[in-house]
Structure 1
Amino acid sequence: MPELRKDPVTGRWVIIATDRAKRPTDFVRERVQIRGTGFCPFCYKNESKTPPEVLAYRSDASARDTPGWTLRVVPNKFPALGIEGTLNRQGEGLYDKMNGIGAHEVIIETPDHNLTLATMPVARIEDVLWAFRDRVLDLKKDRRFKYILIFKNHGDAAGASLEHTHSQLIALPVVPKRVIEEVEGAKEYYSYRERCVFCDIIRQEAESGVRVIAENQEFIAMAPFAPRFPFEMWLLPKPHRSAFEESQKSEFEQLASILKDMLVRLDKVLDYPAYNYIIHTSPFPDVSNDYYHWHLEIMPKLTKMAGFEWGTGFYINPTPPEESAKFLREASVEATVSSQ
């Protein structure tokens, strides 16, 4: 029989359609492949084809916007929001509007076109995380911005317009509704219990183990109790951390390792699927607090939203999280992850 499950943070309901239960091989999808054909503006020696870099990690003393880099961050050539100008908030009767001010940047994770985040060495993934942190710390100085979303689109089905591995961030002058729902849910839980709801989730999941995929000293990777999508995963720091950008070196080392582990498992179990990941962290300026807990969500693109989902805000998930966690947990990837 199908089962309704309620997300303990947002109160969102999902339908776990157990009568439609799907194994990894049951999903129809296009395998993400790196073809390497055609011109790529993110490749070595094409630095002039992107906007000027705002950050680069280099192993030598090479000049800005030239080869010699291991990671670059550049403004998006076709930004969703523009960095210049004032917000100019206005009311038009009962409607509110403002100028489309924000920052939209691309993190080019490696000069090697043939690598993916799953095949990159752990040390290079750690560099990507440091770049996220460096850019957030810089952009949060701008008082126009209230929130910065870090995200990755991997594969055509996930919205990637270029196959060269990259992530993006967008700084916003407002806090997104989905983040507000999480923050308000966490606040309500804290006001009642004086505990962080995410910390309680971590404790309960670690005790039961049925939805835990992997863990290390600093992080736990698990399938959430009420997942919107099949094989959805959450990565959470075990100690209470409200802001991603306040993470320490040891945490980034451990996060890089478990993130690679999860992406390798996805490729192994689901045959190189498209996916999105997002990092949810505390909005500005109250980034250090006791109620919210930053986390990374990975969502493989295996199903499509249709009329019911759009009309209700419910999600129908054909794979129970206990089963997806088991498939991912039992995937044989240890040698692949530990060797890089």
Structure 2
Amino acid sequence: MAELRYNPLLRDWTMVASARQKRPNMPTSHCPFCPGSGKVPEHYDVHVYHNDFPVLSENPPEPDAVGGALYKTRPAKGKCEVILYSPDHYATIPDLSRAHMQKLVELWSHTFAQLERDPDHKYVMIFENRGEEVGVTMPHPHGQIYAYPFIPLKVKTELVSCQEYFQEHGRNMFADMIAEEQRFAQRIVLENDSFIAFIPFFTDYPYGTFVVSKANKTAITEFTEQEKRDLGEMLQQVVGGMDRIYDRLFPYMMVMHQRPSDGKHYEDFYRFHIEFYPPLRGKDRIKYNASSETGGWAAANPMKVEETAQVLRVKINEWRKER
């Protein structure tokens, strides 16, 4: 069964895909994402792999007849792609060469452009889950791209907030956010000509870094070649710094927040940015979302942002010098 179920309390959709329970853990004898498996090309640098257990699909089945009245259902139409970063089973983002990282950014951009051409795709999200702590079952470095038939609630909330801010102040909220972080300076962890990385004043994760475009651009497809190089280099440095914090592979969820795929213009009030949600609050200590965070969306950060930003800034500089 795969379908969408409407939540009238939040005015949002829940994706139901019972087949995903059959997803395997990484086999001990082989990796399906490594050359020689028969599942991927024998030679590749980066590669799009069609998800074997998608929550959204191009030809979804009709929903089960279990709805009615305010309980709406609709087909789970969309697309779920896996983006393989490298044929190297152990090469994560910081391990890639700059030229290889550029190929990955280009593949993200190309796949985004392809998916948003479908009028049924209302929002295309590029993301990565890294580490067992966030539920990764296939450790070969990879990310994913989902094309949703709706705009996810968190993104929709951001868009409404940014539009209302623009209507009230006549300015882009992200431009003001960047200005405030540059004025205060202590939360900035890295900056280049095209992007700025900082741990926001309001983040609910100890190392919940944002990477924000300095230009009024709302999608990865709008970046110049130089901006794409700057983005790839910054991601390598940020993640490389994270790995040095506890001298271990740093788990995280990384999500690119971009404009919806509806042909409308969002550049006046919105901005391309990446949000990291890293769950560690110690080398082997997890920041769990318990009752307050999950039931009330009442975010709680167990560490002071100005202190964690200083730690990450130092570790990024260490990684850059070593690299």
* Aligned with 1:169 (options 124, 145, 161): 145
Cα RMSD after superposing both structures = 2.1
Does 1:107 find its partner at 2:60?
no
Which residues of 2 match residues 150-169 of structure 1 at below 5 A? 150-169=126-145
Alignment partner, residue 282 of structure 1 = 259
- C-alpha displacement at 1:199, in angstroms? 1.0
Letter aligned with residue 297 of structure 2: G
In the other structure, the counterpart of 2:272 is 294
- SS state of the match for residue 83, structure 2? strand
Corresponding residue number in structure 2 for 1:75: 50
Could you tell me how far apart the structure 2 residues matched to 1:260 and 1:324 are? 19
Letter in 1 for 2:229: E
Distance verdict in 2 for CA 1:269–1:36, change over 3 Å = farther
Which deviates the most, 90-99 or 77-86? 90-99
- Corresponding residue for residue 235 of structure 1: 211
Quick one: which of 201, 214, 229 aligns to 2:190? 214
CA contact (8 A) 2:166 2:173 kept: yes
Cα offsets for 1:11-50 (capped at 9, x unmatched): xxxxxxxxxxxxxxxxxxxxxxxx995310000122x32x
Q: CA deviation at 1:288?
A: 4.5
Partner of 1:325: 309
1:301 Cα offset (Å): 1.6
Relative distance call for 1:240 and 1:86 in structure 2 (3 A) is: farther
In 2, are the aligned partners of 1:133 and 1:245 still within 8 Å (CA)?
yes
Deviations 1:208-242 (A, max 9, x none): 20110010111100001101111110001111112
Whether 2:168 is the aligned partner of 1:192: answer yes
Q: How many angstroms does 1:122 deviate by?
A: 2.2
Q: Give me the whole-angstrom Cα distance separating, in 1, the residues matched to 2:267 and 2:89.
A: 40
CA–CA distance in structure 2, aligned partners of residues 214 and 265 of structure 1: 10
Alignment partners' CA distance in 2, 1:183 and 1:94: 26
Map residues 13-92 of structure 1 onto 2, 5 A cutoff: 38-46=29-37, 48-49=38-39, 66-84=41-59, 92=68
Letter in structure 1 aligned against 2:260 = P
Pairwise CA distance, 1:186: 0.3
Compare relative contact order (CA 8 Å, sep 6+) and give the higher one, 1 or 2: 1
Q: Which runs of 5+ in 1 are unaligned?
A: 1-34, 50-64
CA–CA separation in structure 1 for the residues paired with 2:312 and 2:184: 17
Q: TM-score, normalised by structure 1?
A: 0.80
Deviation at 1:87, TM superposition (A): 8.6
244 and 87 in structure 1: CA distance in 2 versus 1, 3 angstrom threshold = farther
Deviation at 1:308, TM superposition (A): 1.5
- Within the candidate set 293, 317, 323, 1:309 is matched to 293
Hey, which bits of structure 1, 4+ residues long, moved more than 4 A? Answer: 85-88
How many residues get paired? Answer: 288
Cα contact 2:47–2:85 (8 A) shared by 1: yes
**What is the deviation of 1:69?**
1.2
Offset of residue 287 of structure 1: 4.9
| TM-score normalised according to structure 2 size | 0.84
Q: Does the C-alpha gap of structure 1 residues 238 and 332 become closer, same or farther in structure 2, counting only changes over 3 Å?
A: closer
